[in-house]
Amino acid sequence: QKQRIAIAGILAMKPGCIVLDEPTAMLDPSGRREVIETVLRLNRDEGISVILITHYMEEAVRADRVIVMDNGMIAMEGSPKQIFSKVEELKSYGLDAPQAAELAFMLRKEGIELPSDILTMFELAAGLRPFKPGESSSWQSVPPIQKEEIPPLAEATAGRSASPILETKDLSFIYNVGSTFAQTALDNINITIYPGEFVGLIGHTGSGKSTLIQHFNAILPASSGQVLLNGEDVKADKSKLRSIRQRVGLVFQYPEHQLFEMTILKDVSFGPESMKLSSEEVKERAEQALLAVGIDRELFDKSPFDLSGGQKRRVAIAGVLAMRPEVLILDEPTAGLDPRGRDEILERIKTMRDTLNITVILISHSMEDVAKLADRIIVINKGRLSFAGTPGEVFSHVDELESMGLAAPQTTYLMRELKSNGWRVDDVYTLADARDILLSLLLSPR
């Protein structure tokens, strides 16, 4: 809404041309769609020229013309079809093609003859028409999930031996309680998170995600209900607050705004220094955390302000990691980063989870990223828990998700389109799975 108000303010001046610098970086899928539709309408109906700067290739696809910049120079220029068919060249500039173009590119590499200018999943499904497999072949994987059968979290995770690391019990939170501005941000939330899990947390803008995670380390106090960390109420004992905030590390949105020290190493040492550790231990932790996020030693003594956006953010994440949290919570860690910066951060987060054995909670507006990384997804809608389950369980509710301002990953829409063309395929949620399934269907002997 704020973004659209800002656009309205510009429009009031009746410009002949508007320039939008990443207007959708922080928005949920339907917020992004609304802004882009608004901009397209202004262009079409009012004849206003639009220059849109974006990290979302799916948005660039809607333009008449795309200009790719690199190192202060124009690297590529042309129609979306011309630009996005050059997947490898785009990658060399740290960019991406839209998922449909990338998937088409992967399939072409395996010898499947698809047009070179596919931009959308719809076009890809049309391009695949001639390859429709016969009746006998179909991709067999897990049976599709029945709609009614989405188990609540407690059941979904039944059979785990460990006890939960984090749990909320009837958690509610009201901002400005008692005033005319009172606003219920969380309404009776019950969730359970187990040690070592990678949990994706999704929900429309304003659904309550950031409010929820600030309860996990007692930054915000529940209005009613409880948050339990290893079975203990996080606000039972004030003297334990410091240790709780160390055990549950929270990386806020745009964490690089909080970098302030002269050198990268000093900045990352700040957290462990506050923990009364020996100076050797502080240094060791800071160095380890920096290496874990992929910052090389030769950068340690540089100023954090000399780094790229993605590097700064990784340094900020290292600052939290250096406290050795048991649970690492990241609030939209890839917002505003280019595709390369985004992939580097996500790759690092995944490696951290696998090697440091920590529990990770990732808030993201990218359904594709969540589908790729999370073991389990929690969906918040208007302050309430909507769904919790595996990516397959959650993304089988495409229509409900869309009505909440969310979406399914793009590959899901491809599979739906193929199904409606009579293909016998299951839903998939990641690019890699879509490629594997399609290749196994298309390359298997008929």
- DSSP run (H or E) holding 198: strand 198-202
Please tell me the chain's helix, strand, coil percentages from 3-state DSSP, rounded to the nearest 5: 45, 20, 40
Contact 166, 232 (CB under 8 A): no
Q: Give, in order, the Cα–Cα distances in Å from 122 to each of 65, 119, 330.
A: 21, 8, 33
Q: Are strands 359-363 and 17-21 parallel, antiparallel or unpaired?
A: unpaired
Distance CA 50, CA 18 (A): 5
| Residues of this chain, 169-188, that bind ligand ADP according to CB under 6 A | 175-176, 183, 185
Q: How far is the CB of 31 from ligand ADP (least distance, A)?
A: 10
Q: What is the rounded CA–CA span in Å between residue 288 and residue 273?
A: 15
State the nearest-atom distance from the C-beta of 380 to ligand ADP, in Å.
7
What is the closest distance, in whole angstroms, from the C-beta atom of residue 370 to Mg ion in the complex?
A: 15
Q: Does 32 bind ligand ADP (CB under 6 A)?
A: no
Number of shown-chain residues binding ligand ADP (CB under 6 A): 12
Judged by beta carbon distances under 5 to 8 A according to partner kind, the member of Mg ion, ligand ADP, none in contact with residue 381 is: none
CB of 212 to ligand ADP, least distance (A): 7
Residue 330 beta carbon to ligand ADP: minimum distance, rounded to whole angstroms: 13
At its nearest, how many Å lie between ligand ADP and the CB of residue 201?
9
Task: Please state, in angstroms and rounded to a whole number, the distance separating the CA atoms of residues 86 and 196.
Answer: 39
Number of H helices, E strands in the chain: 19, 14
The verdict on 224 binding ligand ADP (CB under 6 A) reads no
Q: How many C-beta atoms surround the C-beta of residue 163 within 10 A? A: 12
- Among residue numbers 9 through 38, which ones bind Mg ion (CB under 5 A)? none
Residues 328 and 251: beta-carbon distance below 8 Å: yes
Per-residue binder mask for Mg ion (CB under 5 A), 199-238, x = binder: -----------x----------------------------
Instruction: Tell me the C-alpha to C-alpha distance, in Å, between residue 71 and each of 53, 88, 94, 303, 369.
Output: 16, 18, 11, 21, 27
Whole-number minimum distance, CB 191 to ligand ADP, in Å?
Answer: 15
Does 270 contact ligand ADP by CB under 6 A?
A: no
In sequence order, the 6+-apart residues with CB closer than 8 A to the CB of 245 are 217, 218, 219
103 near 431, Cβ under 8 Å? yes
> What part of residues 192-211 is at the interface with ligand ADP (CB under 6 A)?
203, 205-211
Nearer to ligand ADP, 140 or 176 (CB): 176
**Minimal distance, residue 152 CB to ligand ADP, in Å:** 21
CB 328 within 8 A of CB 357: no
Q: How far apart are CA 64 and CA 81, in angstroms?
A: 10
Selection from ligand ADP, Mg ion, none that 208 binds (CB < 5 to 8 A by kind) is ligand ADP
The answer to whether residue 381 forms part of the interface with Mg ion (CB under 5 A) is no
Residue 271 binding target from ligand ADP, Mg ion, none, CB below 5 to 8 Å by type = none
Between 210 and 366, whose beta carbon lies closer to Mg ion?
A: 210
* 303 near ligand ADP, judged by CB under 6 A: no
**Which residues are near Mg ion by CB under 5 A?**
210
Note the residues at the interface with ligand ADP (CB under 6 A): 175-176, 183, 185, 203, 205-211
